[in-house]
Amino acid sequence: MSLYETPTEANPTRQDGPPVITHEFVVAANRLPVRADAEGQWHLSPGGLVSALSAVMADHDAVWIGWDGSMDGETEGAPPSRQGDMALRPIALTNKEFTDYYEGFANGTLWPLYHNGLLSTRFKRSWWSAYVSVNRRFAEEIIAAASPNGTVWIHDYHLQLVPAIVRKQRPDLRIGLFLHTPFPPSQLLMRLPWREEILEGLLAADLIGFQTPTDARNFLALAHRSDRAPETLFEDNTATIELDGRRMKVGSFPISIDVDRINQIANTPETTAAAANFRASLGDPAHLLLGVDRLDYTKGINARLKAFLELLREGTLEPESVAFVQVATPSRDDVRGYENTRAEIEQLVGEINGDYARLGRPVVHYLHQNLPFEELIPLYMAADVMVVTPFEDGMNLVAKEYVASRTDGTGVLVLSEFAGTAVELHDALLCNPFDIAGLKRLLLQAISMHPDEQSRRMDIMRRQVSNNTVYDWAKRFLDQLDTEPDRQSTTDGSARA
């Protein structure tokens, strides 16, 4: 059996279970967009992507297919079958699939490889097998859940084989895939023993979206080098590939945030008061620096803390006049690389506070916790300098959230050149996080920036962010998917509109 065929007997519920209700719009992502709270109640997960897609899905008869977070069926309770306007279809993982597909191939192989090989990558054949079988399962659900001529939007590196498996059985479907991570240079990706399979999986989509033009160009170069596609011109942020008598598109669609929602939260008296209280609770430092990240080795949290520590050591920064708040959301605890990163960050936090804190007055405030979105906005509003220093990042929405939260037009963003966001936010102070000396200079420049200069830069960045919200992003992707000229035959024999 070929990689892209799905054995129906592999999923007996498809044959024996109740008839499956089909939907005109199908979203597939590794995770469902809902989370259970401590009381076992399910809520929509926080984040711009989920709100944007829920808004898009509200206009359609839509279903979201994703992993419900359980392993071997051990959940506090099954997720609901609907959330608001969308239907939910959970995918269950076994313990072994969690280890080999999620922790293994997705986050032990693809994540480091796609982030420019920041961590040496492991290529384990058992991880690949699990990736294939979980991708098949997602594809089977899509095949069963999509109505004739429906639209399927697949998300991220976890599901790159799905377009080809789905197309094989449902050529009537319009298939889009958006990659949220970077796509590395071909020389690096060619190391992947299964690069041909991944390429074939992706090229079966009608539209592949990347975060930046560089990611899209890297993909086109790989497709060409691997003889999977002719040399293709990438112009006006899209390219069309003619392939096996079919046309598909590759484009750059920088993802964004829900600007209106941030405005709504930021413009309440409660949030303004929370921001002031928060600052006061830190002893009203003259300079407040902030970092908010998932705890990940790609995020460069260690680089910014090193630069900060050196500035204190040299006496360039006075510990009495400065505070650094670092929120590091727990993530992928058992995946290789994460434990060491956490240890290094916590060692630096300990060193800074050990040497420079006074009793009751730390210099670095470190939270290894998940903060609700509503609590992050007052932090953004209180911080004079937002420090975003990833070594490699698909986009980095925290940088955009900071800009959107600065409703008074002040504040300085220090932003890594290696974040996709840097392509849009040129008026940030752009840094190279591998260059600690340079990062120190930029931190000092940020701290001492004149308010007029802050407003000048922030104004431009705020306009930039407002002109491309997550809703614009979703619309641009779906419009492009819909305009793709080639139409395939339908399962019910009717022509596509």
- Residue of closest CB approach to ligand G6P: 180
Q: Which residue has the tokens 């060692």?
A: 347
Shortest Cβ 14–ligand G6P spacing (Å): 26
According to CB under 6 A, which residues from 455 to 494 bind ligand G6P? none
Shortest Cβ 285–ligand G6P spacing (Å): 31
CB-nearer residue toward ligand G6P: 231 or 333: 333
- Start-to-end CA distance of the chain, whole Å, equals 34
Q: 99, 109, 181, 302: which one contacts ligand G6P (CB under 6 A)?
A: 181
Q: How far apart are CA 384 and CA 379, in angstroms?
A: 10
Per CB under 6 A, 392 contacts ligand G6P: no
**CA 465 from chain center: how many Å?**
17
Shortest Cβ 393–ligand G6P spacing (Å): 9
CB-nearer residue toward ligand G6P: 232 or 389: 389
Shortest Cβ 111–ligand G6P spacing (Å): 8
Shortest Cβ 2–ligand G6P spacing (Å): 27
CB-nearer residue toward ligand G6P: 207 or 335: 335
| Count of CA atoms in the C-beta half-sphere (13 A) of 400 | 28
CB 465 within 8 A of CB 422: no
CB-nearer residue toward ligand G6P: 332 or 462: 332
Q: How far apart are CA 46 and CA 256, in angstroms?
A: 14
Six-digit token pair at 13?
Answer: 């519920």
Shortest Cβ 181–ligand G6P spacing (Å): 5
Shortest Cβ 130–ligand G6P spacing (Å): 15
| Binding characters for ligand G6P, 106-145, by CB under 6 A (x = yes) | ----------------------------------------
Shortest Cβ 103–ligand G6P spacing (Å): 9
Q: How many residues bind ligand G6P (CB under 6 A)?
A: 7
Per CB under 6 A, 180 contacts ligand G6P: yes
CB-nearer residue toward ligand G6P: 6 or 181: 181
CB-nearer residue toward ligand G6P: 296 or 484: 296
CB-nearer residue toward ligand G6P: 255 or 364: 255
Per CB under 6 A, 400 contacts ligand G6P: no
Shortest Cβ 155–ligand G6P spacing (Å): 7
Q: Residue 39: which residues within 8 A CB-CB, separation 6 or more?
A: none
CB-nearer residue toward ligand G6P: 118 or 442: 118
Closest CA to 135 of 177, 174, 173: 177
Closest CA to 405 of 246, 251, 275, 304: 275
Q: How far apart are CA 180 and CA 86, in angstroms?
A: 22
Phi, psi of 87 (to 5 degrees): -85, 150
Q: How far apart are CA 474 and CA 11, in angstroms?
A: 32
Six-digit token pair at 196?
Answer: 């041909």
In the three-class reduction of DSSP (H, G, I as helix; E, B as strand; rest coil), residue 469 is classed as coil
Six-digit token pair at 91?
Answer: 């995918």
Per CB under 6 A, 331 contacts ligand G6P: yes
Query: Strand ranges (DSSP E) for 192-285?
Result: 207-210, 238-243, 246-252
CB-nearer residue toward ligand G6P: 48 or 251: 48
Looking at residue 434, what DSSP letter applies?
Answer: T
Q: Give the type of residue at 100.
A: D
Q: How far apart are CA 238 and CA 422, in angstroms?
A: 20
In the three-class reduction of DSSP (H, G, I as helix; E, B as strand; rest coil), residue 373 is classed as helix
CA dihedral sign of residues 189, 192, 194, 196? positive
Shortest Cβ 157–ligand G6P spacing (Å): 7
CB 29 within 8 A of CB 64: yes
Shortest Cβ 30–ligand G6P spacing (Å): 6
Beta bridge partners of 117: none
Q: 25, 26, 31, 380: which one contacts ligand G6P (CB under 6 A)?
A: 31
CB-nearer residue toward ligand G6P: 140 or 156: 156
Per CB under 6 A, 332 contacts ligand G6P: yes
In the three-class reduction of DSSP (H, G, I as helix; E, B as strand; rest coil), residue 496 is classed as coil
| Binding characters for ligand G6P, 1-30, by CB under 6 A (x = yes) | -----------------------------x
CB-nearer residue toward ligand G6P: 51 or 181: 181
Interface residues toward ligand G6P, by CB under 6 A? 30-31, 156, 180-181, 331-332
